[in-house]
Amino acid sequence: MDVTSFGIDHDVLLRGVYVSRVDEVGGDFVTTFDVRMKEPNREPVIDTAIMHTLEHLIAIYYRGNKEWADKTIYVGPMGCRTGMYFVFKGKLTPSDVLSSITSSYEYVLNFSGEIPAAKANMCGNYLDHNLPMSQYESKKFLNEVLYGIQPENLEYPKINYS
């Protein structure tokens, strides 16, 4: 297993939308995006309940998206809690996915009502959700990163081993 993300320099990694890896699976490509919401080791990470709500709502957003539903494989939190992984079919670049990712955070921001699938029979920890704070984090990420995204928020800084 090639863990590409171990070669990126987390000391200077900014928030943004990065290609984490492209895999070939059965003749087709799959692209994993690193959607980084926090600067690693330089700001507080996202609470688990917030990550959990983002996971549920962004999954629902993609399920209902005509263009992306069939291309979306998985969206879920990083173990380090500084961002989310978005996995799509195809060999894609950040510019291919930026508008749908932006819309997915806007969906969270504007969501009201009961969190989908947050029921004991559908979720492994159904009480562990936080809608207001997931909206706070979405708004912050939209305003501070996605709406004014720069080249340095779209390409990984590589570790210089020399």
The SS3 assignment for 101 reads helix
Q: How many Cβ atoms sit within 10 Å of the Cβ of residue 115?
A: 18
According to DSSP, the β-strands at 28-36 and 83-89 are: antiparallel
In whole angstroms, how close is the CB of 12 to Zn ion at the nearest point? 33
- Report the alpha-carbon distance of residue 34 to residue 130 in Å, rounded: 22
In whole angstroms, how close is the CB of 122 to Zn ion at the nearest point? 7
Closer Cβ to Zn ion, 98 or 123, answer by number: 123
In whole angstroms, how close is the CB of 87 to Zn ion at the nearest point? 17
Closer Cβ to Zn ion, 45 or 123, answer by number: 123
**Do the Cβ atoms of 84 and 58 come closer than 8 Å?**
yes
Closer Cβ to Zn ion, 35 or 115, answer by number: 115
Which letter, b or e, does each residue of 18-46 get, where b requires 16 or more Cβ atoms within 10 Å of its Cβ? bbbeeeeeeeeebbbbbbbbbebeeeebb
- Report the alpha-carbon distance of residue 140 to residue 159 in Å, rounded: 28
In whole angstroms, how close is the CB of 124 to Zn ion at the nearest point? 6
In degrees and rounded to multiples of 5, residue 75 shows phi and psi of -135, 130
Binding region for Zn ion (CB under 5 A): 123
Shortest Cβ contact with Zn ion: which residue? 123
Closer Cβ to Zn ion, 123 or 133, answer by number: 123
In whole angstroms, how close is the CB of 128 to Zn ion at the nearest point? 8
Closer Cβ to Zn ion, 22 or 123, answer by number: 123
